[in-house]
Amino acid sequence: MAGGTVAYTQRGLRNNNPGNIRDNPMNNWLGRIGADDKGFVIFDKPENGIRAIARTLDSYARRGIKSLSAIISTWAPAVENNTSSYIAHVAKKLGKTPGDEVTRDEYPALIEAIILHENGRQPYDRATINRGIASA
């Protein structure tokens, strides 16, 4: 594509919102440029979508949501997701059990696993992931 832009078919990647974060007017996300027809945030660039994932994970940690199972259950509630499958997938990717706590040092791997599960692929290099986390 012209200008190095990649056209993605997956909503989260197309919206630069690889965690598929729903829009909420209470969150004035850095780089938010709108919302799509299904209510998901559209970010100006992937790093700001990744930043939003990291900030959400930080918010969970402040509230005591630290185990892999608790994080994913909060991120992807069972009312709209197969949460147990999501937890198993992320646990396998991280080499953890569902009850293991996740530290901020593990965010790059956790965020990559979330992106993969949400979109069926994880196209970002670790530098892009780290830039998003560093800006959180």
The predicted-structure confidence for 30-68, as pLDDT tens digits, reads as follows 999 999 999 999 999 999 999 999 999 999 999 999 999
Check whether 26 has a pLDDT greater than 60.
Answer: yes
Percent of the chain, pLDDT > 90? 92
Check whether 4 has a pLDDT greater than 70.
Answer: no
Residue 89 neighbours by CB under 8 Å, 6+ apart: 113, 116, 117
Contact by Cβ (8 Å): 132, 49: yes
For residue range 11-25, list pLDDT tens digits in order.
999 999 999 999 998
In this prediction, residue 25 carries a pLDDT of: 84
Q: Is 79 strand, coil or helix?
A: coil
Average pLDDT over residues 131-136: 98
Check whether 5 has a pLDDT greater than 60.
Answer: no
In this prediction, residue 7 carries a pLDDT of: 76
Check whether 2 has a pLDDT greater than 80.
Answer: no
In this prediction, residue 8 carries a pLDDT of: 85
